[in-house]
Structure 1
Amino acid sequence: MIACLVIHGYTGGPHEVNPLAEYLAENTGWYIHVPTLPGHGDTLNLENVTYEQWLKAAEEAFLQLQKKYDSLYVIGFSMGGMIAAYLAAKHKVDRLVLLAPAGKYLSLKHIGSYIGDVISDGVKGKLNENEMYVHYKNKIGDVPLKANVEFVRLVKFTRQYLKEIDCPVLIVHGQRDGLVPAKTAYYLDKEIRSEHKEVVFFERSDHLICLGEDRHILNDIIYSFLEKEEATC
């Protein structure tokens, strides 16, 4: 029996990865679990949450699945990608998928470009058609500075575990990612020691890769990777 743990990103929630989770649930007999990290979800409450709590919550979910299932796949998006990498370094994970993993800090250059796009769409009266604006507009003011510090601490902490990952890994990044530089994929490819690694880039995708134009192709690629018989630890 197979279970798949899918971990969302910083200030996000299951909705960020639900299209992928639903695809896997519909096309496999696997148990798909998408937990909500402390302080996250539809209503943010990050004031007194630490990065250790995020790691603990994800690890507890993993250990619960480990008790019931023979094989475990772990998928992580953005900050969730770094948490997924941490779990794969500490425990037996059969397959690991990292989606726009936040191994490098936010790209200020591309953030500036996004701001320009938001302004442009606002002038055109198309602001509500801007995917990034719609996704993050309600979070402005809801994320305390301390939470951002905890995010940085988590990235720094989990980086040291990358060299301990030896299971098959798929790294996927959008070329238009305006929050985490696409070059992060190369960094992780270099740091992770596993002999079974694949890196895929999507030209049309931005940071919200599971919600973007390439999501259907993304779902197929992830499914194919997880199904590979030769990809064993």
Structure 2
Amino acid sequence: MIGCLCIHGFTGAPYEVQPLADYLSERTSWKIVVPTLPGHGEPPALKGVTYKQWLDCAEKEMQELATECDTVYVIGFSMGGLIAVYLAKKYSVEKLILLSAAAKYIYVGQLLRDLKDIAGDWKRGRLRENELFARYKRKLFSTPLSSVFQFRRVAASVKPLFATIQIPTLIVQGLADGIVPPKSAEYIYQHIASKEKELYYVPDAKHHVCLTGDTEGLFEKIFTFLTESSKVN
């Protein structure tokens, strides 16, 4: 049996990866797990939650999945991508998918373009209709500074692990992402040790790559990557 663990991002919730999980579920008989990390969900309650609690939660889900499945894939979005790398280092993971993985963060150029779009909608009286503004606003007012520090602890602890990852890895990056810049995906591609690795760009996707841009093409790419035989012995 094949298992697939999908991990959402910092301040987020399963909705960030759920469309991909649903796509895979409709086409396979895999056991697909999409946990909610401690302090996350709708609404998030991150105060006092540590990065170790996030890692421990992901490890528990990984361990449970490994007891039921012969093969396990791990998919991680944003901070969840970093946690996915952590799991791939410690456990027997067959393939790894990194979506907008936050090895580096805040793409100033795209963020300014996003803010310009938000300002335009504000002038036109359509600010409430701007989904990106709603996400930024919610995250800004619900994220304690201590949690940002915990996120940075995850990033710092995982970066040295890229050089230890030997399994097939697909690195996905939206080119209209204002949170994680394309150089993050390039950094991961350059530093990950796997001989079978691929960098896949989604031109119009913002940070939530499973919710924006060409999601159908992206999901098809991921499905193919997971189901095709490994090219490296």
Which TM-score tier does this pair reach, normalised by the shorter chain?
over 0.9
Partner of 1:140: helix, strand, or coil?
helix
Does residue 130 in structure 1 map to residue 106 in structure 2?
Answer: no
Contact kept? 2:168, 2:230, Cα under 8 Å: no
C-alpha separation in 2, matches of 1:56 and 1:128 = 37
Match of 1:17 in 2: 17
1:118 matched residue in structure 2: 118
Q: 1:63 to 1:110 in 2, by over 3 A?
A: same
| 2-structure distance, mates of 1:82, 1:64 | 20
TM-score, length basis structure 2: 0.96
Give the direction of change, closer, same or farther, for the CA distance of 1:129–1:213 in structure 2 (3 Å limit): farther
2-structure distance, mates of 1:232, 1:86? 22
Q: How far has the Cα of 1:24 moved from its partner?
A: 0.5
Superposition deviation, residue 114 in structure 1: 1.9
- 1:3 maps to which residue? 3
**Alignment partner, residue 44 of structure 2:** 44
Instruction: Report the counterpart of residue 55 of structure 1 in structure 2.
Output: 55
The equivalent residue for 2:32 is 32
TM-superposed CA distance for 1:231, in Å, is: 4.9
Q: Hey, what's the Cα distance between the residues in 2 that align with 1:60 and 1:205?
A: 31
Name 1:90's counterpart in structure 2.
90
What is the TM-score when the length of structure 1 is the normalising length?
0.96
Question: Hey, what does 2:208 align to over in structure 1?
Answer: 208
Deviates more, 1:207-216 or 1:117-126: 117-126
- Provide the C-alpha distance between the structure 1 equivalents of 2:222 and 2:85, rounded to a whole number of angstroms: 16
Superposed CA deviations along residues 104-133 of structure 1, whole A, max 9, x for unmatched, are 122233322222221111112332343321
Q: What is the CA deviation profile of residues 156-180 of structure 1, one whole-angstrom value per residue up to 9, with x for unaligned ones? A: 1111111111110000001111001
Residue 29 of structure 2 aligns with an amino acid whose one-letter code is: G
Q: Kindly indicate whether residue 163 of structure 2 is the aligned counterpart of residue 149 of structure 1.
A: no
SS at match of 1:190: helix
Alpha-carbon RMSD across the aligned residues, in angstroms, is 1.3
Find out whether 1:195 has 2:195 as its counterpart: yes
Match of 1:184 in 2: 184
Per the alignment, residue 224 of structure 1 pairs with 224
CA distance in 1, matches of 2:100, 2:197: 15
What are the ranges of 5 or more consecutive residues in structure 2 without an aligned counterpart? none
Query: Contact (CA 8 Å) 2:6, 2:74: kept in 1 or not?
Result: yes
Asked if the contact 1:94/1:232 (under 8 Å) is kept, the reply is: no
Give the secondary-structure state (helix, strand or coil) at the position aligned to 1:41. coil
Tell me, yes or no, if structure 1 residue 109 matches structure 2 residue 109. Answer: yes
Superposed structure 1 runs of 4+ greater than 4 Å apart:
none
Q: Encode CA deviations 1:53-103: one digit per residue, 9 max, x unaligned.
A: 111110111011001100000000000001001111111110100000000
Q: Distance in 2 between matches of 1:151 and 1:36?
A: 16
Aligned residues: 233
- Percent identity between matched residues is 43
